[in-house]
Every structure is written in structure tokens, then in C-alpha cells.
Amino acid sequence: MVTRVGRIGVVAVLLAAFATLLGAGESRADDQPGRVLLVLDSSGSMKEPAGGGETRIQAAKKALRQVVEQLPDDQAVGLRVYGAKVFARKDPGACTDSQLVVKPATGNRAALLSAIGAYQPYGETPTGYALREAGKDVGGEGRRTIILVSDGEPTCAPDPCLVAKELRKQGIEVRIDVVGLSVNAAARKDLQCVARAGGGVYYDVDSSQELADSLSAVAKRAARPYVPVGRPVTGTATPEGAPEIAPGDWLDAVDAATPAKHYLIKRALLNSSVVASAAYRASQSGGDFVDVELTTPSGTRCAFKTGVAGNGKLLSTAASASPYTQQEECLTSSELVLAVTYRGTDSDGAALEIRVTEVPEVTDPETLTAPANPNTWTPPPNGSRKAVTGGTSFADAESIGAGSYQGTIVPGETLTFAVDATWGQQVDAAVGFPALRGGSAAAAEDAHTIVELFAPSRAPASAAFTSPVTSRDRLLLTDGSTELASTTGTIAFPRLGSASHAGPALGGAYFVTVYLQDSPRNASVAVPFELDVATSGTPGGEPVFTEVPIDGSPSATPEATPSATSGATPEVTPTGDRTDSKASSGEGGEGGGLSGLSLILGGVGLAAVAAAVFLFLRRRGGSDALSG
């Protein structure tokens, strides 16, 4: 059963799609608004009823007029239609029946409104051809968004899902959002494939006022695109000729032709610890594995980690070359080779965010006091709740402090929040879902929800085992009983030989992520949630760093690379604190720090990977919590 939505829902969905594009520009001050192309199905089936006493074409026209009238003047928008001139497939030109009726530009609102009024349902459904032509219309540079509005299955080659994959290979700044109007199951499957392959979102709309209200809530909240950031880099298939990268943020893309990408990290300090993480938003199908490996140029392995996620979840995996569990060569080598290997499906062109963090040697780690029980869970207190939106990536995480919050999440989203903490403290997060009814309950049925913590280096930082035991992922129950909890444990730099920590730990911006699994019901319903966050413990235990340049040059604290979010070079202190101007607003913290948990170097292990595979690859799950 699919809940339906009326014309109001169509308007809300299209506004949300445009807001997604426009919202992306807010995170990058140097960007101009991207180009948008509406691609409208004009096939004969658009004459059929959509609900509310209107035909599909009438509902689409009213919605599109409202959307165009609300667009900002500096937004370049165009319009392409297909199936508008050739009546039957047997007629010449039926499978190439698509026209660019308004070129993407500013100042063309009158032309757009006129074209929308003139377009009528008529012929076949050459969706793949229209998408391929749309790729040419929006050009090959800058942010480009195609919004496909269709009511049926394609009736002509090429396969639109394959075309979407081709377009996505043009770069991570191409996005295809899809709106399905009163579609059947087969058409929905085809259109969902187009959105998934195009890195966008699929919206299912038709006639229910209940879902219309929910979609309006989606449009009103700040639409949240996945915003990857970093200095562009292209990894090589082998270590030979790999590009050099320094501490900071780097941005590559998944490429099926090069599943393993290599980079050369230049170490600045002798005996320093180096953490390399790879963040990635998984595809909607199956399970995506990402391997992160650090080796020396001679081939000595320093660290290897594997992460797995699916159903659109935000994933970050990290490996570290540290002085506690690694070979001597991994500490003294002036260079390290980073290999990031993607193993999955349907993700060509997806953003791959790499963060490199280098931490100076600690003078006397044996004098530091290790916490007696680093994984003690401290429930955050409940209080008056403030509204939050959350980001969708580590780059645009919303900065929050200890407190109680509430917001909404759409199935398939991962929301991100940044919380500052230092040595001696720990970050505790608890997420709950109130009793759900109507569209929200239908959307959340059979969906898993997960809360996780990540270190400033983006290494996983959720304590693997806690006392008392907590649950950080489970099947969402719609009766209001679902609660999740996670903790970092005490943030403390490890003593040599410490069994409770396997790697360095720094203070800085820790990330709380909230994920709700996509649902076959409808991916456009806003589901309410509650979030409680605490930073407990007494600050203390800061180590003393010693900076010995590996090349004999004057010592210097490592700095982050320029941020694609702010366009500036934020300073990263030895504590990992963010000192850039956007740290307090949550527009893109650039803190460099290392996780205080064994998860960086050895805590994830085969058990956690197996649990993740179990979560994302099984067809259905029970309500029992997985301890974490």
C-alpha cells in the first residue's frame, strides 16, 4: 500500500526539490545558484485522474506555476518536455520526441509560465532519451539539477536508469530528483532507480490530504542536500603516481573503473599519529563496503579498516598509523600510502570525502591517567526542547550544545550534529521517537533507526560496549517505545600499553548522527524525533605534545587545507578545536582530532562489521536491540 498525496503535496514536493538545490549554495559562499531543468512527461497517460477531481496534467500545471512564481530571480531554470508531439510508438520519431522549450536562464519566468500552460498530454514516454538530452541542456560544469516529473514507465530505449548513471559520471555536482505522479508499482521502481542512480531523491505523490500535510512539512523545513566538501583530488588505481595530500579535507568520487583509489600522505612530524578517514553516503541498494588502508611506500601495512552501510546511510571509516600498535616504519616514514576501496553497486560518481589528521608525538604518555571505565553510559537529562534541522554531511553538521531538541527526519536521511568536547569529558546522545500515526507511521514501518558518534577525525567513536548496556540501532516501533543511546566514553589520550584505548584521542567537535532507514512506503514523509545530548565529566588530562619536524625545518602545528565550505583556511589547534568562523554556527566544522576510542585502530573488528552487514542485507529485522 502506498499513501497518496494531492496537488498540495505536488507543490510541496517540487518546492522541496528546488529548496534542496538552493540550500546547497548556502554552504559554499563562492558558488552561484546552479542550473535547474524541469523535465516534464507529456505522454497520453497524463490525461488520467490524479485525485481531488483533477487530472494529472492539471495537478502538475498548477503545482509548476506555483513553483515558478516562488523561484528567486537569480535562479537559472529551464523546461524540457517529452512525448508532446508524436502520438504513437509506431510513428517516426516517437522515441526521440523531446523538446527543450525554455533554455535554463534567469529572467525567463514569463516564458516558463507560458510553456507550462501550453504543454498537453499526447504521446509515448521516451524518458531515457529526454534525460540524456537534459544532460546536454544543463552543461558540463557547476551544480546542475534535473527534476523529472513523470507518471509512467518508459516505453522507449534507452533505459532512463542507465542514462542517469551516465550523467552522474559527469561529476558529483549533477543531481536528478524525480517526482512520480500516481504511478503504479512498476513505474515507481523505474523512477526510484533513476533518482538513486542520479544521486537525488524520489517523491511519490497523488491524492491524500494526510500525506499532503506531511509533504508540506518537508517543504517548510530546510531541505537538506548531501553537501560534500574538500579540495578536489583524483586517486590513482595504483600507488605509483598517486596524488599528494596533506592534513585537511579532500574530495574524490566513486569510480567503478577504479574501485581502489590511492593517495600519498606527506608526514610533517616525526613519530606523529596519522588518521585517514573516508566518508561516504551509501547507495539505496544492498550494502556498500569501504576499505581504508594505510601502508608505507615499501608496502608495510600500518592499518586496515572496513565499513559497511546501505539504504542511503552516511558512512565514515578510518584507519590510523599510531605509536601504540604499529610497526616502527609506520611512525618514521615521511610518507604513507592511503588506499580507499569501494565495494558496492549503483554509486558511480558518488562523493568520497577524505580527511587526513596528523597529531604530534606526546612527550610522556605513560604519565597520563587512563579512565577506570571509559565506556560508562550517562543518560542525558530531558529538558525543554528546541527545534533543530541537522545537516546531512559532516561538513554541514548543525552545531549544538548539551540540551534537548526535536526535529523531523525523512526515511533515507542521515542528520548530523556537532558537539564540542575535550579531554576528561564524554559525549552522550539519546534519540527517541514519539508515537507515530498516519503517514509517519506508514513511512517508518519496518525501518531501522541508528544513532552514532564520530570523532573530529570522522573516525567512528561510538563505544562498542557500555555499562549499562545501550542500544544504538533497532527497528523503529511506532508506539513511542523506541529509544536509542550512544556514548564516546571518556575522551582521554591513551597510556602506552593501555588496553582500553588503542589510539590517540583529542578534544574537538564530535559528531552525532541520526539515521532512519528508507521505507518502501514513501520516502517523502517527515517523521518526528527527539534528541538529548550531554557532555559530562571534568575537563583534564591534556597531554603535552612535542613537535619534531621530519625534515628538520622549524616546527609547526599541522593546519587544515582550505575549506570548500567557507573558502578560508581554518586553524586546527593541537586539541582539534575548530577556530574557523563557522564553527559556532554549524556550517562546516573543520576540526582535526583523533578518536578517543579503540574504534579508530581496533575496536570495530569483525563483530561490528558482521552486525552492520546483518542490519543492511537482511530483508526484515526484529525489534531486539543490537548492543553498542
Per-residue pLDDT, 180: 79
Q: Is residue 597's pLDDT more than 50?
A: no
Taking Cα atoms as reference points, which of 326, 282, 330, 325 lies closest to residue 307? 282
Which secondary structure element, helix H or strand E, spans residue 165, and what is its range? Answer: helix 160-168
**53-83, pLDDT tens digit by residue?**
777 887 777 777 777 776 667 778 899 999 8
CA count, 13 A, side-chain hemisphere, 436: 24
Q: How far apart are CA 287 and CA 86, in angstroms?
A: 42
Residue 602: pLDDT band (50, 70, 90) is very low
Pairing of strands 471-475, 335-343: unpaired
Number of domains in the chain: 1
The answer to whether residue 156 is domain-embedded is yes
Per-residue pLDDT, 347: 66
Q: How far apart are CA 108 and CA 128, in angstroms?
A: 26
Which whole number is the average pLDDT over 413-421?
93
For the chain, the maximum distance between any two Cα atoms, rounded to a whole number of angstroms, is: 83
Q: How far apart are CA 379 and CA 422, in angstroms?
A: 19
The answer to whether residue 239 is domain-embedded is no
Q: Average the pLDDT over each of 242-256, 431-445, 448-462 and give the range with the smallest value.
A: 431-445
Name every residue whose Cβ is closer than 8 Å to that of residue 561 and which is 6 or more positions away in sequence: 230, 231, 246, 247, 248, 249, 250, 569
Per-residue pLDDT, 33: 53
Task: Pick 63 or 564 by higher pLDDT.
Answer: 63
Q: Is residue 486's pLDDT more than 80?
A: yes
Highest mean pLDDT among 147-161, 370-384, 486-500: 147-161
**231-290, pLDDT tens digit by residue?**
999 999 999 999 999 999 999 988 878 889 999 999 999 888 899 999 988 876 667 889
The answer to whether residue 143 is domain-embedded is yes
Measured CA to CA in angstroms, residue 37 lies from 147, 178, 211, 320 at distances of: 6, 12, 26, 44
The answer to whether residue 382 is domain-embedded is no
Which whole number is the average pLDDT over 84-103?
87
Q: How far apart are CA 107 and CA 72, in angstroms?
A: 10
Which whole number is the average pLDDT over 592-598?
30
The answer to whether residue 445 is domain-embedded is no
Q: Average the pLDDT over each of 70-79, 455-464, 606-615 and give the range with the smallest value.
A: 606-615
Polymer length of the chain: 628
Can you say whether the dihedral through the CA atoms of 462, 468, 473, 478 is positive or negative?
Answer: negative
**329-347, pLDDT tens digit by residue?**
888 899 999 999 988 766 6
The answer to whether residue 247 is domain-embedded is no
Average pLDDT over the chain, rounded to an integer: 74
Per-residue pLDDT, 406: 93
Q: Average the pLDDT over each of 25-29, 36-40, 88-92, 245-249 and give the range with the smallest value.
A: 25-29
Task: Pick 550 or 206 by higher pLDDT.
Answer: 550
Per-residue pLDDT, 541: 80
CATH number, domain containing residue 29? 3.40.50.410
Q: How far apart are CA 200 and CA 178, in angstroms?
A: 7
The answer to whether residue 116 is domain-embedded is yes
- The dihedrals phi and psi of 312, each to the nearest 5 degrees, come to 80, 5
Q: How far apart are CA 122 and CA 40, in angstroms?
A: 12
Q: Which domain holds residue 71?
A: 7-220
Task: Pick 232 or 312 by higher pLDDT.
Answer: 232
Percent residues over pLDDT 90 in the chain? 28
- Do residues 530 and 403 make contact, with C-beta atoms less than 8 angstroms apart? no
Q: How far apart are CA 282 and CA 397, in angstroms?
A: 18
Per-residue pLDDT, 44: 86
Q: Average the pLDDT over each of 9-23, 52-66, 397-411 and give the range with the smallest value.
A: 9-23
The answer to whether residue 575 is domain-embedded is no
Which whole number is the average pLDDT over 112-134?
90
**143-202, pLDDT tens digit by residue?**
778 888 888 888 899 999 999 988 877 765 677 878 777 788 888 888 888 887 887 777
Amino acid type, 491: I
Which whole number is the average pLDDT over 379-383?
87
Task: Pick 615 or 312 by higher pLDDT.
Answer: 312
Which whole number is the average pLDDT over 478-482?
89
Which whole number is the average pLDDT over 314-325?
83
Kindly report the three-state secondary structure assignment for every residue of 206-264.
Answer: CCCHHHHHHHHHHHHCCCCCCCCCCEECCCECCCCCCCEECCEEEEEECCCCCCEEEEE
